[in-house]
Amino acid sequence: MTSLALAGSASAAATQASGAPSETIAFVGVNVVPMDSERVLEDYTVIVREGRIIAVAPRRTAELPDGTRRIDGTGRWLLPGLAEMHGHVPGPRDPDYAENVLFLYVANGVTTVRNMAGHPSHPALRDRIARGDLIGPTLHVASPWLGPDVAGTPEGARAAVRHHRAAGFDLLKIGSLTRDAYPAMAETAHEIGMPFGGHIPADVGLVGALDARQSSIDHLDRYVEYLVPEDRRPDGEDSGFFGSRWIHLVDEGRLEEAVARTLAAGTWNVPTLSLVEHLASPESGDAMIRRPEMRYMPRRVLDGWVRAKQEFSAREDFQPDATRALVELRRRLVRALHSAGAPIALGSDAPQFFNVPGFSIHHEMRMMAAAGLSPFEVLATGTRDAARYFGTPDAFGTIAPGRSADMILLEANPLEDLANVERRAGVMVRGRWLPEEEIQAGLERIAAQAAGE
């Protein structure tokens, strides 16, 4: 895979372990899944101090400093913390909800979030978490949505890029830029070393985004449109939700070329399969909000998800045949991209459309496995590959000395079954240990708060 050095994310990477507890902690006699390759280091000890892993050694040879806090790893597995590469954190209007979302991520072993919500408050929130003032995943924060209102001209696009860099954002969230404004944005972003990703404007298309070396394409945006030959494209007809209106016009003979172009550009994909699959599911919205994890979400959010599913179900371009075809094509696209070596990072677009933060990453991993990836390959997209996306492969995402102490202690081997990632004994985020009892207490507090609204 091609690795991009994303200079705009340096601020978050540099503070990956700042504000960490000073005590020394050791996971003793644990089976380590280091994620540098598909292997398990059996009966090892991992020592952590000040938010960093300082030693990984066989238990029989590991030397524990005096005063080390021991965590029994016997019969357990230690996995690097996961990354949610297309997450959303609310703004400051409802601070309790925002803090709950942060905890929900961490409770599920999500220790890094590329926050694509884009609010002016998020750089300060990122820094609060890094200082240890607040429990939460390490945040890499995207700018507010770049659209015609703020970047409708080439001059406006250039100014917006520089404004967002000065405001402390790590990357630019691309929305609906015009054909003229997009190149100006891309040129300025490259000039100052600021990555840009998200959607692809309709007027730009897949080829335009790849030629501009867009850092990431989220939601597999504009691939369906590219797979429709120009002579089949209906004049003046919108392609629908991620190409759903044109799905019957696709020529899959163009898939190989789309993958080759993506690979050549070095552009990452964050598929967010669950975004479409939850809306396309024949299960009703009312049934979906009865899933156990829905108890942690405010009622207003759940009601909004149910309405959205009802509205999509009524759309002409989102009927069962079209949605099944769209889901199947997106899975084939993920498999083709991965098989070719085009870089993919794990993301679910939480909290959107029945995606409860943290919990949704487990749904996403199962969907990626259904697309044809092995458990190790799926886990790699959310661990070592996420670190490679940020251009910081030595900062986090693997278990090795010097890495940020972001890890999940599991009761069963995740390489055998992805469902085992949900069988937690606890989570460590930047060196802070949260045993499962503490996690469950936090979840119960959130559930009680949601029930009282």
Which pLDDT score is estimated for 328?
A: 97
Report d(CA 453, CA 448) in Å as an integer.
9
pLDDT digit string, tens, across residues 122-153: 999 999 999 999 999 999 999 999 988 889 89
Other C-beta atoms lying within 10 Å of the C-beta of residue 237: 10
Q: Are 199 and 243 in contact (CB under 8 A)?
A: no
Q: Look at 54-63, 102-111, 139-148, 229-238 and tell me which has the smallest mean pLDDT.
A: 229-238
Give, to the nearest 10 degrees, the angle between helix 255-265 and helix 320-340.
50
Q: Is the pLDDT at 21 greater than 90, yes or no? A: no
How does residue 20 score in pLDDT terms, banded at 50, 70 and 90? low
203 contact partners, CB below 8 Å, separation of at least 6:
177, 178, 179, 182
Phi and psi at residue 410, to the nearest 5°: -115, 155
Q: Is the pLDDT at 280 greater than 70, yes or no? A: yes
pLDDT digit string, tens, across residues 228-268: 999 999 988 889 999 999 999 999 999 999 999 999 999 99
Which pLDDT score is estimated for 12?
A: 43
Q: Is the pLDDT at 8 greater than 80, yes or no? A: no
Q: Could you tell me how far CA 39 lies from the centroid of its own chain?
A: 24
Which percentage of the chain shows pLDDT scores above 90?
88
115: DSSP letter: E
In terms of pLDDT, which residue wins out, 361 or 234? 361
Closest CA to 360 of 267, 422, 445: 422
Q: Is the pLDDT at 297 greater than 70, yes or no? A: yes
Q: Are 176 and 147 in contact (CB under 8 A)?
A: yes
Q: Are 213 and 267 in contact (CB under 8 A)?
A: yes
Report d(CA 246, CA 237) in Å as an integer.
9
Closest CA to 25 of 71, 77, 72: 71
Q: Is the pLDDT at 190 greater than 80, yes or no? A: yes
How does residue 335 score in pLDDT terms, banded at 50, 70 and 90? very high
What is the value of pTM for the model shown? 0.93
Q: Is the pLDDT at 342 greater than 70, yes or no? A: yes
In terms of pLDDT, which residue wins out, 238 or 101? 101
Tell me the β-bridge partners of 435. Answer: 426
How many CA atoms does the CB half-sphere of 262 hold within 13 Å?
Answer: 31
Average per-residue pLDDT in the chain?
93
